[in-house]
Each structure stands twice: as C-alpha cells, then as structure tokens.
Amino acid sequence: MDRKVMTDRELYRRSIEYRIRLLRYIRMANAGHTGGSLSCVDILNVLYNRILNVTPENFSDPHRDRYVQSKGHSVEALYVVLADKGFFPESELETLCRYESHYVGHPTRKINGIEQNTGALGHGLAFSVGVALSAKMDGAAYKVYTLLGDGELAEGSNWESMLTAAHYNLDNLTAIIDRNNLQITGRTEDVCSLEPLADKFEAFGWSVRTIDGHDITAITDVLSAVPFNVGKPGMVIANTVKGKGISFMENDHKWHHGVPDDEQYDQAQRELDALLAEQES
Amino acid sequence: MTFAAGRELGKANLDVFSETLLSLAIENRNVLAVTSDSRGSGKLMPFAANLPDRLIEVGIAEQNLVGVAAGLASTGKIVYAVSPASFLSARALEQIKNDVCYSDRPVKLIGISAGVSYGALGSTHHATHDLAALRAIQNISIVAPADNFETAEAIQAAAQMASPVYIRFGKRPMYHLHGPQAEFVIGKSMIVREGTDVTFIATGETVYHALMAAEAMEADGLSCRVISMHTVKPLDIEAVLLAASETRAIVTVEEHSICGGLGEACAGVLMQAGLSVPFKIVGLPDEYTVTGSQVEIFEHYGISAEGLARTARELLSQ
C-alpha cells in the first residue's frame, strides 16, 4: 500500500464520485441495491485503490489477491469501482439489467474483474476459505478478502465456513462485515439479533477489529495490518450507514433496493455535488 | 437365478473410486479430496494415510464442503468433493447450483451411498432425488456408473473435465459387465447386450438386474437389449431413439424416484421425436420407501430380474 500514490483526500473525493456514478446507473436501470452499495463503497474504494494487487493486467495471474463479494446484491458499487480501475469501459454500465446485458444485478464472472458468481447469500465465505486454503497449500503469498452483509450472517453456511477458516489457521483470509444494521425487513437486531457480534467471531477463533467503515484512514490502517494475529483469520466489523451520503436514504431500510424518482435523484445529485465542492475547498 | 457364464463379481464401486482417486492423486499433486466427516464412508482412509495433506476435512457441513471445493477449484486444484449423495445433492444444492455450476468451477462431486444404498437407515439417507434435482441445473454432467470398469473410467475422466460433474454410486460389490474391448466415454451409453424385442435402458447399479432379466427372458425366446446409460445428463439421445426404432418396447430402470430421472428424460426424447413404443419407467414410486436392505427395496419395487422380466413381458403383450 502506498499512500503517496493516492492521498486520503483524493480517495474521499473518489468515494463521492463513485456514489454519483452508482446512483446514475441504478437510475438508468430503474433497479439496484442502492442502500447497501452506498454503505460498502468506501470499503471497495480502499480495497481496489490501496490494498489489492488486482489490476486488469494481472487478473489471470494466479498470485493476484482475491476479492469475493459475498453480499452480491451491492454489485453496483463493485461495477463502478471496477470500471474506474479499467476492467471495462464505464459506458457499458448503461446496459445494467437491460435485455441481453452481461451486467446482471448480481456479480458474475462474465464481467472482467469479478472472481465468483454471488448473489444468493452465505456463499462467498466458503469459496474464499477454499481459495485461502489453496494459497496455504501452495505456500503462495496472495491474500483473500471477502465482503459480507450483516443480514447475510443469519445464513448458517457462514458459521460453517468460520469454523473451517479457524481450524486451518487461515490468516491470509480477511472477512469484512458491512455492518449497516439494516436488512430488507428492517433492523438486523429486530429481525434476528446478531449482537454481540464481535464476541461471536472471537469465539469462532477469528481475530476481530471494529472500525468506522466510512473512514478511509481507518479502513486503510486495518486492512494494511493483515494478518491481525498470525494463525488466525481476520474479521473486520465495518460500522457503516445504509444509504450513506444521501440524507434521505441514510438509515432507512426502504432504500435497500429503492430507486430514486426524478426529484429524489436531483436532490441526491445536489447533495453529492455539495460534498464534492466541500472536498475541493 | 444364476448369472451368465463369464461374469464375475467385482468390488464395490466405492472401493474402485477410492483406489482410482488415490492413484490419480499420487500421479498429480493437484488432485485433492474434500470430505465432510465422510472419509470413512467414502473409503478414503488409505488416501488420508498416504496423502494426509491432500485430504481437506470440513466437518459435517455439506454447504461448506461444496463452497470450499469451488474455491479450491478456482485456483486450479483438481477437487473431488466426497459426501453421501443424499446430503451432497440436497443440503448443498444451492452451492452446487451457484458456486460450482453457475460459476463454472469444475468440481467433481462424488455422491457416495447413492440411491437406497443405506437401505434400512431410511429415507433421510436415501438419494432418490439427486438425478432429478441436478438434471434441472445447467452446466453439469451426471454419471451413475454400473460396474467397476465404468466407475474407474468415470473417476479418471472427471479429472480431465473442465466443467462440473456429479458421479454417484453405491457400496455393494458389482458384477463386471463389460469385456476387454469396452470403451467408456461420458455422454455415450454402452450396450451391455444386444437384442431386438425389448430394450432395458438402465443406469447405475440397476443395470445388472436388467441384464439378469434379459438373460431370463432369453429362455422364452425373447431377445432383450440392455443399455448402460451411465450418463444421465447429457443423455445419449441417439441410443434412446435407436432403441425405439430397432426394438418393440422400452423399459427404463433407475435407483431413483420415477419423477424427473432417467425414465422421464428418455420419455421426453421419444415424445419430442414423435416416436411411440410401449414404454415403462421402473424406479422408486413417489412415496417413502419400504424398510429394508437395498436388495429388498429393489425387489419390493420390481427392480429385480423377476420384476423387470415381468414388466417387459407385459409391455410386449400390449
């Protein structure tokens, strides 16, 4: 990681631009997972701009790092970040969810830069465990990162995979929880309580860190410190805000897959433009 | 009922799988076995003893088994995910659908103790749905080998396959069905016996029962063809069409529910080709099976020499 290549300030600006773009394509498609894309986009920003040694040029290199998006529904955030990194022309996102488009509403390997088809929940962690195990078997140095939603943690398969990761001492694996506290029905703690989450991960043998998932510096620091403990898989609880950056979307589960109408879209743009102007001043 | 001269009882297909996988793994360090507390029932103790670092144990967690196998396969490993067919094809069905097939990870899914191999352990342990469930999933080959030769060939062929495959078999010793000239190709059925009156299209461990029925019927002057349709998907359509045009009736036989398996696959081929011959699907009816051993369950539902011969004679008399 080289902070000199892109300063924190530049990354903050980029996060706002990513938000503007993902809203644009959700609006064009009239479909998308708006709230969760806005909550995880700062994490993806740091991963792709500072942490992962993944580029369009090395994407078939077996020694590249791996990023697996288990919360596949937030694909719009991933698409705009991958386009920005040059995996495909951003203009292709104008076809998002259109008839015969490759840009489906969940990640697929038909899109350059995407490691695994996800979307059904509770799948990304097991796949990532398999990749991390392979790296350990081969003595390879690459690292594996996976992003899970908090609502997704009710899927029992995640806890099966957590056992396996700890059993095999996969300290080359880092899971990040987009802890926005909301799922499609409402608050995670009302739907099916997750807390005390950090204690549960610790009890499963993981090394846990809790951060502000919108703080570029904090995300960078924690992901640069992998492995947190030699011999233990790492878990980052990233406290986030669903709908982050758009006042009327924040912390409202109705924006899980809500699409802004014309008026809402204009207001969202104004708010993000104001944030950009603030960054520049 | 005596078996025709020249046919010898071999090993369980399970044993052949275990030996074949071990020799593949000795030859190629990329070959891995992944198990869900199933190394014993998968006869993988010799593999574990010889190549302990190449057997990945995930505990009793079939969803995890298949997801982890997909991740390993994504890095170029040649991965055999081994678990009882019942749990592998039901508990982990979504992982098979998404992590393996949709994501095009060439995992070799090995369903041990398939069909009603677990006998009196009951329906929780029976895999009588797996062919139907997996047939409706894209990008997977489904193979049920009938004897030791087919099993060894299928396990070896799987190692070379760039797309997902499911191979299911049982644990009882099987008779050798093929001569030294036999050639095994996934997707291409094998004629075990030629005939002109009726064709048995059978798969997996039912093939030898069909062969015994054919030999019994020969005494009545009836000539029966027996096909080992080891690959249920992609189905050898040409062999099904030839059976309809060259023989007078077809009996399909499978250790599986009559819903959605080999029989309905063959019926679909014939209907869409506009071919109508007397036709009967023999398998397990749409009910929880009677208690008993595999052989007792087979006999109860007519998957036996006597039962299949009776079914074939009835069809020919129509």
Cβ neighbours of residue A241 under 8 Å, at least 6 residues apart? Answer: A38, A39, A180, A214, A250, A251
* Cβ–Cβ contact A128 with B under 8 A: yes
What's the CATH class of domain B9-175? Answer: alpha beta
- Distance of CA A168 to CAs A64, A137, A230, B54, B69, Å? 21, 10, 12, 13, 15
What's the pLDDT tens digit per position in B52-109? 999 999 999 999 999 999 999 999 999 999 999 999 999 999 999 999 999 999 999 9
- Distance of CA A84 to CAs A55, A90, A206, B155, Å? 11, 7, 33, 44
Q: A-chain residues within 8 Å CB-CB of B53?
A: 137
Residue B175 in 3-state DSSP? strand
pLDDT surpassing 50 at residue A231: yes
What's the pLDDT tens digit per position in B136-184? 999 999 999 999 999 999 999 999 999 999 999 999 999 999 998 999 9
Examine domains B9-175 and B190-316 and report if their fold is the same.
yes
* Cβ–Cβ contact A93 with B under 8 A: no
Angle at B132 between CA B129 and CA B134, to 5 degrees: 100
Q: B-chain residues within 8 Å CB-CB of A117?
A: 98-99, 102-103
The answer as to CATH 3.40.50.920 being correct for domain B190-316 is yes
Would you tell me how many other CB atoms lie within 10 Å of the CB of residue B115?
32
Of B59, B71, B102, the CB nearest to A128: B71
Nearest to A167 by CA among A121, A120, A233, A249: A233
Task: Name the residue in chain A with its Cα closest to that of B96.
Answer: A123
Instruction: Tell me the average pLDDT across A136-140.
Output: 98
What's the pLDDT tens digit per position in B191-247? 999 999 999 999 999 999 999 999 999 999 999 999 999 999 999 999 999 999 999
The one-letter code for the residue type at B106 is P
The torsion angles phi and psi of A38, rounded to 5 degrees, stand at -70, -25
What structural domains and CATH numbers belong to chain A? Answer: 8-280 (3.40.50.970)
Residue of A104, A121, A133, A159 to mutate when probing chain B, most B C-beta within 10 A:
A133
- State the angle between helix axes of B62-74 and A124-138 in degrees (0 to 180), rounded to the nearest 10: 50
Q: Where are the domains of chain B?
A: 9-175, 190-316
The answer to whether residues B284 and B307 touch, using CB atoms and an 8 Å cutoff, is: no
Compute and round to an integer the Cα radius of gyration of chain B. Answer: 19
* ipTM value for the complex: 0.97
Q: Look at B67 and A161 and tell me if their CB atoms are within 8 Å.
A: yes
How far is Cα A135 from Cα A117, in angstroms, rounded to an integer?
Answer: 20
Would you tell me how many other CB atoms lie within 10 Å of the CB of residue B258?
20
Q: How many CB pairs under 8 A join A and B?
A: 94
Nearest to A148 by CA among A102, A204, A213: A213
Strands (E), chain B: 9-12, 31-35, 55-57, 78-84, 108-112, 141-143, 165-168, 173-175, 190-193, 198-202, 224-228, 231-233, 249-257, 279-284
